[in-house]
């Protein structure tokens, strides 16, 4: 992620603070964003020309921050199972702690600059595909992923399974008084299913 000034980060954090307060970003005023960022409106306009530009930059900041975190998880892992465990923990964190923030930013940009939104999606999708491809190569070197399985098939198995896990965490988190053990069991079940699927037929 590009190096951002402390002032720009303060503006993004101001938006996140407003979201946590339940404010609708479609109707929030620039002055409110400036107040939440701890700066004057004129200072905010030194960095962005409009509210739309602020929200677009905030979306890019969120995406870059998440991709950076994924890269860190992969870099810290010693092997494929470490990558898998780190990815499951990461997805659980996102879907139970940050997803509503991203929903709010996405809804605030609904109907605006669809080409830009499409570009962000394609960039993220391409980066996640490359990360998963590297994970598959690691899994095959470790002997955890069957060498008989084509790489593309392995990538589909991993991405679709992790997506299902993420959606399950999101839905479960919406229920009142969810026991944390439920999420731990979901992690264990998803991990076991993925390892069985990637080991190939007959294993």
Tens digits of residue pLDDT in 65-115: 888 999 999 999 999 999 999 999 999 999 998 888 887 777 766 555 555
Residue 149, domain extent: 52-198
Confidence of residue 147 (pLDDT cuts 50, 70, 90): very high
- What tokens were used for 95? 């879907």
Report the length, in residues, of the chain: 203
- The yes-or-no verdict on residue 171 having pLDDT over 70 is yes
Confidence of residue 136 (pLDDT cuts 50, 70, 90): very high
Residue 127 belongs to a domain: yes
Residue 147 belongs to a domain: yes
Name, in order, each residue with C-beta under 8 angstroms of 115's C-beta and a sequence gap of 6 or more: none
Rounded Cα distance between 182 and 185, Å, is 5
Complete DSSP assignment for 111-129: TS-HHHHHHHHHHHHHHHH
Residue 129 belongs to a domain: yes
Residue 45 belongs to a domain: no
Instruction: Output the CA–CA distances (angstroms, integers) from residue 91 to 37, 100, 111, 172, in the order listed.
Output: 28, 14, 27, 13
Residue 60 belongs to a domain: yes
What pLDDT is stored for residue 117 in this prediction?
55
Give how many domains the chain has, as a whole number. Answer: 1
Residue 158: DSSP 8-state: H
Residue 5 belongs to a domain: no
Contact 108, 55 (CB under 8 A): yes
Rounded Cα distance between 66 and 202, Å, is 37
Residue 11 belongs to a domain: no
Complete DSSP assignment for 162-201: HHHHHHHHHHHHTSTT--HHHHHHHHHHHHHHHHHHHT-T
Name, in order, each residue with C-beta under 8 angstroms of 187's C-beta and a sequence gap of 6 or more: 88, 89, 92, 165
Here the CATH number for the domain that contains residue 59 is: 1.10.357.10
Rounded Cα distance between 143 and 97, Å, is 34
pTM here is: 0.82
What pLDDT is stored for residue 145 in this prediction?
97
Residue 6 belongs to a domain: no
């Amino acid at each position: 992620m590009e190096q951002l000034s402390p002032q720009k980060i303060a503006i993004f954090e101001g938006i996140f603070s407003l979201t946590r307060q339940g404010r609708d970003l479609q109707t929030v005023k620039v002055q409110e964003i400036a107040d939440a960022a701890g700066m004057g409106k004129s200072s905010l306009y030194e960095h962005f020309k409009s509210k739309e530009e602020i929200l677009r930059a905030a979306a890019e900041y969120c995406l870059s921050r998440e991709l950076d975190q994924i890269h860190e998880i992969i870099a810290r892992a010693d092997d494929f199972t470490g990558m898998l465990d780190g990815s499951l923990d990461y997805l659980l964190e996102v879907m139970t702690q940050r997803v509503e923030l991203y929903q709010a930013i996405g809804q605030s940009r609904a109907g605006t600059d669809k080409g830009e939104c499409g570009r962000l999606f394609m960039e993220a999708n391409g980066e996640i595909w490359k990360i998963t491809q590297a994970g598959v190569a690691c899994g095959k070197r470790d002997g955890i992923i069957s060498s008989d399985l084509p790489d593309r098939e392995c990538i589909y198995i991993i991405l679709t399974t992790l997506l299902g896990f993420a959606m399950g965490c999101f839905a479960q988190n919406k229920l009142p008084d969810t026991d944390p053990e439920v999420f731990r069991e979901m992690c264990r079940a998803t991990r076991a299913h993925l390892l069985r699927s990637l080991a190939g037929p007959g294993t």
